[in-house]
Amino acid sequence: MFLSAFAPVFSAIAALPGAAGAEFAVSPLRQVITRQNPVGVYEISNGSDRILDARIGWIDLSATEYGYAEATPAARPALSAAPYLVVSPARLRLEPGKRAKVAVRLKKGARPPPGERRSHLLIETTPVRTPLRRAGGGLEADVELGVSTPVIVRTGFAPPAVSITQTRLVRDADGMLELDTTLSRTGRYSAFGRLTVVMTAEGRPRRLAEIANIPIHFDAAARRLRVPLNAGALPAGVLELRYIGAAEYEGRVFAEKKFEIAPPD
């Protein structure tokens, strides 16, 4: 089992079965490798009470409007960054509470084509084998886990254009409001940032929601999102959405849109 790193958190975290609160974590969430910055470093930490062995390699995932899907053989030649990169170490062992660094480097002499390529660093961990343990009336075995995190090789650069489209208010199963919206991208390069939702009623702005770490990759024209608003109704006023850059795009306002909200019936 592997987990994609792109959830709205600040590091990729996987829970280890059999130990309450046990986890290993990987940060940062993504790396961008260029000729000017040819090395990216990840930190892996073992928050569990068990020794972890880790294998480190690559997996290619295509971007979709909802996240990722396994890349097809036909998609890989124009997608994969792995042929241009080297990772070290390829294996490591982590004692409980310890941390280790993994470096991703542009291969010497590599000449990636203009634009972007992306592969996902795959860190697969196996708790050091122990006999089957009795837990909760049953037997518990060690299970393999993994986390993937995107590594982008970028040659040249031009900021992408992003627009907010297809926005509507919907309700979840409990009747609470959610915002269903699409971030549409054009250009050769990916975007990365956060979406904020602010409601201004009677001249007073209030942040209803924020989702961080949202990529719109070069191989996907759009990213579809469902944003919980934690409200059963909205007052009359103005609802504003903003997609704001993070990391190398920090502070850039990619897109913003306002909606007039009528008084509730």
SS3 content of the chain, % helix, strand, coil (to 5): 5, 60, 40
pLDDT given for residue 260 in this prediction: 95
pLDDT given for residue 144 in this prediction: 60
Question: What stretches of the chain show up as alpha helix (H) in DSSP?
Answer: 76-79
Structural domains of the chain, ranges and CATH numbers in brackets? 2-155 (2.60.40.10), 161-261 (2.60.40.10)
pLDDT given for residue 46 in this prediction: 86
**Lookup: tokens for 75:** 């998609």
Question: What secondary structure does DSSP assign to 207-221, as a single string?
Answer: EEEEEEEEEE-TT-S
Backbone angles phi, psi at 113, to 5 degrees: -70, 165
Question: What secondary structure does DSSP assign to 22-36, as a single string?
Answer: -EEEEESS-EEE-SS
Per-residue pLDDT of the chain (265 residues; tens, 9 = 90+): 444 444 333 345 554 444 434 477 889 989 999 999 999 999 998 888 888 888 999 999 999 999 999 999 999 999 999 999 999 999 999 898 999 999 999 999 999 999 999 999 999 887 655 444 434 444 444 446 678 899 999 999 999 999 999 999 999 999 999 999 999 999 999 999 999 999 999 999 999 999 999 999 999 999 999 999 999 999 999 999 999 999 999 989 999 999 999 987 6
